Amino acid sequence: MPDQSSSRRPNIVFIMSDDHAAHAISAYGSRVNETPHIDRLAREGMRLDNVFCQNALCAPSRATILTGTHSHVNGVRTLSTYFDNRQPTFVGLLRDAGYQTAIVGKWHLGHGPDHDPRGFDHWVVLPDQGDYHNPTFFDNGVERRFDGYATDIITDLSLSWLDSRDRTRPFCLLVHHKAPHRPWEPDEKHMHLYADTDIPLPETFHDDYANRSEAAKAALMRVARDLTPTDLKEPVPPGLTPEEEAYWKYQRYMKDYLRCVASVDDNVGRVLDYLDAEGLRDDTIVVYTSDQGFFLGDHGWYDKRFMYEESLRMPFLVRYPREVPAGSVSTAMISNVDFAQTFLDFAGVPAHPRMQGRSFRPVLRGVTPDDWPQRIYYRYWEHGDGSHNVRAHYGIRTPRYKLIYYYNDGLGLPGTSSERYEPEWELFDLQTDPKEMRSVYDDPAYASVRAELTAELARLQKEIGDPPYTPSDEVDTER
């Protein structure tokens, strides 16, 4: 493909939902729903199959995307640590370079002078998670309530800002939906979608975690409380067997989740239609992604946090006709640490020296460089929070293998448990065990793989400046 690096700088529309699993998008082969408008991006651009987050929580992922840095650098390691808005972000750098910038929707990085969006000409964001119906927003710092459904309102406000823009300058618009984050509240249009449909169970729904760590089993014990009456919106019928109750809960969870997704999909279509009608199609990079993946009952789980594939993997679809071949697919390994530098690369703006990612613009053109990284790093810091009981861990993923170290210590960080446990390891061969049902860490046949990945994990931690865990004293093994 010829070089398209002309003086014309592309517009950027970055659409991000919250907790939208890739396997709930039909372009990724979903068995449970159709997303025709999101799928347009795959048909008219590229679907990336190996995009991963470096910390599967809302706030940490958003901080990483903005700054192009890992959690230990940007400081947002848990949901209880807020974003220092004095940090350089790709949006602020674009604004300094002449872009018009705006964010509409979920921010979730704290509020107040030190935490509000900075580097944006215009910002209208939800307080914390915000509400689905008749939500309140901070409109450039002023509290305002809007009537209607959050997903529609976020799109309305985004399109209104586009209408008011200076048409002589490029723009960067972040459209951040709160959906499909819990509690799952559909809009009226989709309230009865799937009413007469049974959603198929995932293959791993009845996972008993028999061949994995104690850390994984401890989280599984919280599954029963993970779907609360608030989530389900009605009491469990009496007289059900445990298996029948699990199935009943799954159906109600999935249907409301997918109804929220359907509204997001419709609104992605509205944005694409607007850009096409305004003649902006060829000059605008449009991305659809989520802040991380989500377990759709996979492994009996209804959240994120783990380094397992359903949580680690992010959907990422992009359309930019000037450079991205229509209908293309990439399997290159990419982290959300790479997003910031990629957008800056397209805009011709130098990345800040603090940024730790790498532009994947060549990948989007259809060419993966020979030296492209073959591993990504992950670290979950929010050890044993009261709701989910997922223990702190970090690890490395390569195209075939995944090594996870549960160091099981909150390190005194806000939002973490003070309980500590003996560290554990898991190793998965994703070629022979793509569902991650059996750890082979102690299998002698994988001794050389284990040694190689352990060394690569240490090397990668040194490269990004995240020291390996070192216990300060004896751990408490009481459970």
Return the CATH number at 63: 3.40.720.10
Which among 64, 23, 79 has a CA at the least distance from the CA of 308? 23
Q: Which residues of 327-337 are buried (b: 16+ CB within 10 A; e: fewer)?
A: ebebebbbbbb
In-domain check, residue 215: no
Query: By C-alpha distance, which of 166, 75, 83, 155 is closest to 121?
Result: 166
Is residue 414 included in any domain, yes or no?
A: yes
pLDDT in tens, 370-418: 999 999 999 999 998 767 889 999 999 999 999 999 999 999 999 999 9
339 and 437 assigned to the same domain: no
Question: Which tokens in the block code for residue 415?
Answer: 């939002």
Provide the pLDDT for residue 321: 98
- Are 127 and 184 contained in the same domain? yes
State yes or no: pLDDT of 5 exceeds 50. Answer: no
Has residue 478 got a pLDDT over 60? no
DSSP-derived 3-state class of residue 43? helix
User: Are residue 311 and residue 387 in the same domain, yes or no?
Assistant: no
Give pTM, 2 decimals: 0.95
Question: Are 260 and 131 found together in one domain?
Answer: yes
CA 365 to each of CA 183, 275, 368: distance values in angstroms, whole numbers, following the listed order: 39, 21, 9
Could you list the residue range(s) of the whole structural domain that residue 423 is in? 377-464
Rounded to an integer, the average pLDDT of 218-229 is: 66
Average pLDDT over residues 184-191: 96
Confidence of residue 7 (pLDDT cuts 50, 70, 90): low
Half-sphere exposure of residue 292: CA atoms within 13 angstroms, side-chain side: 28
Q: pLDDT value at position 305?
A: 95
Q: Are residues 283 and 325 in the same domain?
A: yes
SS3 105: strand
Is pLDDT of 298 > 70?
Answer: yes
Better-scored residue on pLDDT, 311 or 476: 311
Instruction: Please check whether residues 384 and 281 belong to one and the same domain.
Output: no
What share of the chain in percent tops pLDDT 90?
89
**How many CB atoms are located within 10 Å of the residue 281 CB?**
16
Inside any domain, residue 202: no
Q: Which residue has the tokens 């723009």?
A: 171
- Is the confidence at residue 476, as pLDDT, over 50? no
Q: Alpha-carbon distance 39 to 25, whole Å? A: 8
Give the residue-averaged pLDDT of 185-194: 96
- Inform me whether the pLDDT recorded for 6 exceeds 50: no
Distance (Å) of CA 299 to CA 117, 158, 308: 36, 37, 10
Query: Where is the domain boundary, 322, 339, 367?
Result: 367
Compute the average pLDDT of residues 250-277.
97
469 lies in some domain: no
Report the distance separating Cα 253 and Cα 221, nearest Å: 18
Q: Which of 338, 367, 396 is the last residue of a domain?
A: 367
Domain annotation covers residue 201 = no
Q: Domain boundary at 367, 386, 404, which?
A: 367
Nearest by Cα to 173 from 87, 101, 120, 275: 101
Give all strands of the β-sheet with 334-335 in edge-to-edge order. 313-314, 51-52, 334-335
Quote the tokens at residue 150: 């959050």
Indicate whether 341 and 445 sit together in one domain: no
Share of the chain above pLDDT 70, in %: 95
Please state, in angstroms and as integers, the Cα–Cα distance from residue 236 to each residue in 174, 247, 264, 298, following that order. Answer: 39, 11, 28, 21
The answer to whether position 27 is within a domain reads yes
In this structure, the chain runs to a length of 479
Q: What are phi and psi of 103, to 5 degrees?
A: -135, 135
Cβ atoms 43, 326 nearer than 8 A: yes
Judge if 450 and 411 occupy the same domain: yes
CB 136 within 8 A of CB 128: no
- Please determine, for residue 473, whether its predicted confidence score (pLDDT) is greater than 80: no
Same domain, yes or no: 139 and 39: yes
Contacts of 435 (CB under 8 A, 6+ apart): 203, 204
Q: What is the CA radius of gyration of the chain?
A: 22
**256, 402: one domain:** no
- Gap between the Cα atoms of 10 and 170, Å rounded: 7
Q: Burial code of 130-144, b = ≥16 C-beta within 10 A, e = fewer? A: bbbeebebbeeeeee
Kindly state whether residues 171 and 261 are assigned to the same domain.
yes
Distance CA 220, CA 226 (A): 10
pLDDT for the residue 226:
61
Residue 1 has pLDDT above 60, yes or no: no
Please give the Cα distance from 184 to 178 (Å, whole number): 10
For residues 97 and 349, the answer to whether their CB atoms sit within 8 Å is yes
> CATH number of the domain that 393 lies in?
3.30.1120.10
The answer to whether residue 293 sits within a structural domain is: yes
Residues 339 and 460 in one domain: no
Tens digits of per-residue pLDDT, 73-126? 999 999 999 999 999 999 999 999 999 999 999 999 999 999 999 999 999 999
Say how many CA atoms lie within 13 Å of 116 toward its Cβ: 16
Q: What is the pLDDT of residues 304-330, one digit of tens each?
A: 999 999 999 999 999 999 999 999 999
DSSP string, 258-324: HHHHHHHHHHHHHHHHHHHHTT-STTEEEEEEESS---SSGGG--S--SSSHHHHEE-EEEE-TTTS
- Close Cβ partners of 388 (under 8 Å, ≥ 6 residues apart): 219, 222, 226, 303, 305
- In this structure, is residue 5 part of a structural domain? no
Dihedral of alpha carbons 456, 458, 459, 461, sign? positive
Q: Any idea what the Cα angle at residue 288 is, between residues 134 and 5, rounded to 5°?
A: 130
Number of structural domains the chain divides into: 2
pLDDT in tens, 335-362: 999 999 999 999 999 999 999 999 999 9
Give the pLDDT band of residue 2 (cuts 50, 70, 90). Answer: very low
Average pLDDT of the chain is 94
Confidence tier at 22 by pLDDT (50, 70, 90):
very high
- Model confidence at 183, pLDDT cuts 50, 70, 90, reads very high
